[in-house]
Amino acid sequence: MRKTFWTGVTVNVMIFVCMMATVCYAQDAFTKLGRGVANTLTGWVELPKNIYNISIEDNAFAGMTLGLAKGAGMTFVRTGAGIYEIATFPFPLPENYRPILEPEYVF
């Protein structure tokens, strides 16, 4: 009797977890709009973020040169992706409103 009870509980928990995983990953037009606004407003954070990351990985000189160049480029990429997502938020482009940049947000 006990074994049957715990087997039933386990199966119900597994079904619940599988159902919640699909709901949590659901993307829609307003998620895309919010992501676009966030990336447009915070795209400039890529500059200090890349300087810091390259400085930690390599050294301070690399951070101030390579990190500065990479951060400046990613600032334009992230801000442009945000503007694109704001302009196209009603349309499921790319498929199912997936983000065009990974990670979705700068932070």
**Helix, strand or coil, per DSSP, at residue 56:** helix
Q: What is the pLDDT of residue 14?
A: 60
pLDDT exceeds cutoff 80 at 51: yes
Whole-angstrom Cα distance, residue 30 to residue 85?
Answer: 10
Average pLDDT over residues 67-96: 95
Task: Name the residue with higher pLDDT: 17 or 34.
Answer: 34
Peptide bond into 99 cis (omega under 30): no
